[in-house]
Amino acid sequence: MAIRMIRKDDDDILRKISKKVEVIDERILTLLEDMKETMYDADGVGLAAPQVGVLRRVAVVDIGEGLIELINPVIVFEGGEAIDEEGCLSLPGINGAVCRPKKVIVRAQDRYGKTFEITATDLLARAFCHEIDHLNGILFTDKIIPDYKQDKE
């Protein structure tokens, strides 16, 4: 395993569309391991392959409830809306309010190639949406609500 360099800021690769994984080979398994290690090392809750310079539809997420590996993830259901602050390991120092679905169902393959569906709400739903956006070259800063003030007691 190895910690990979996280691509940042205006690196062009963050704007490219990642390709579907057709075969889960050693390279993809190594990529998953490295992404996991890189995410934990950077204290992130998610990481998508383009963030480490690989244009493949692979992401890892852990919001503190355990690691979830996603290969070829797609959102098959979204419901509700929730606005909350987001950040990104590729955009250090930037935070902003983004509207995401409150609930999503994501379909993906695991490292064995088995297709699964996972239902997520709130932070986990947000993390899935954020990472899947990365696979399409979309950054959260594209979606920031300007001058949004959260109602906090």
Say what the alpha-carbon torsion angle 36, 41, 47, 51 is, to the nearest 10 degrees.
-110
Whether 65 is catalytic? no
Which residues, at least 6 apart from 43, have a Cβ–Cβ distance to it below 8 Å?
none
Among 14, 35, 88, 127, binds Ni ion (CB under 5 A): 88
Q: Are 6 and 89 in contact (CB under 8 A)?
A: yes
Please choose, out of 31-39, 57-65, 87-95, 113-121, the segment that lies near Ni ion by the rule CB under 5 A: 87-95
Determine if 58 is a binding residue for Ni ion (CB under 5 A).
Answer: no
Please choose, out of 10-18, 71-79, 88-96, 99-107, the segment that lies near Ni ion by the rule CB under 5 A: 88-96
- Identify the bridge partners of residue 10 per DSSP, sorted by sequence position: none
With respect to Ni ion, which residue has the nearer C-beta, 70 or 88?
88
List 81, 86, 131, 153, catalytic entry: 131
Q: CA 79 to CA 7: how far, in whole Å? A: 31
Determine if 60 is a binding residue for Ni ion (CB under 5 A).
Answer: no
Q: CA 25 to CA 5: how far, in whole Å? A: 22
With respect to Ni ion, which residue has the nearer C-beta, 24 or 140?
140
DSSP string for 97-122: EEEE-SEEEEEEE-TTS-EEEEEEEH
Determine if 6 is a binding residue for Ni ion (CB under 5 A).
Answer: no
Determine if 127 is a binding residue for Ni ion (CB under 5 A).
Answer: no
With respect to Ni ion, which residue has the nearer C-beta, 121 or 137?
137
Q: Contact positions toward Ni ion, by CB under 5 A?
A: 88
Catalytic residues: 131
